[in-house]
Homo-oligomer: A and B are copies of this chain.
Amino acid sequence: MARLVVMYKAPQEKAAFDKHYFETHLPIAKKIPGLRKYEVSQGPVVTPAGPSTFHLIATLHFDDMGAIQRAFASPEGQAAAADVRGFATGGVEMYIFDNRDV
C-alpha cells in the first residue's frame, strides 16, 4: 500500500482551519478516486521533546504509487489540492511513498 501524508503547519487561526478542514475539505478529499483509507490526527501533534510545528497530519492510503499519481491527476484530486491552497495558511508538506509492514 502507498501513502500520501499531508502535514499541515500550525495555521493562523486554528478554529477556522479545523472548521474548514472537517466541514469542507474532508468531503472534497474523500471523493478522490482510489482512496482506500483516510486517517486524521486527533489532538496535538507532538515530538519526543515537546510541541511540534504541525497542527494536523492526514494519512491517505492508496493501493500503490500509480494510484496516487492518478489521484493527483483526477478532477477530484485537483479540486482537493486547490482547496488546500486556500485554507493551509501555515503551510503544508506532502510526502508520498510506498509502505510495507516489517
Contacts and interface: CB of A to CB of B under 8 A. Distances in A.
Contact of A47 (B30, B45, B52, B94): B94
- Assign chain A's interface to a size class: 35 or more
Interface of A: 3, 5, 7, 22, 26, 30, 37-48, 52, 54, 57, 59, 65, 72, 81, 93-102
Copies of this protein, total: 2
A93 to B, nearest CB: 7
Task: Specify which of A54, A72, A100 lies most central, judged by the most chain B CB atoms within 10 Å of its CB.
Answer: A100
A59 B75 CA distance: 30
Contact of A99 (B42, B47, B52, B54): B42
A100 B42 CA distance: 7
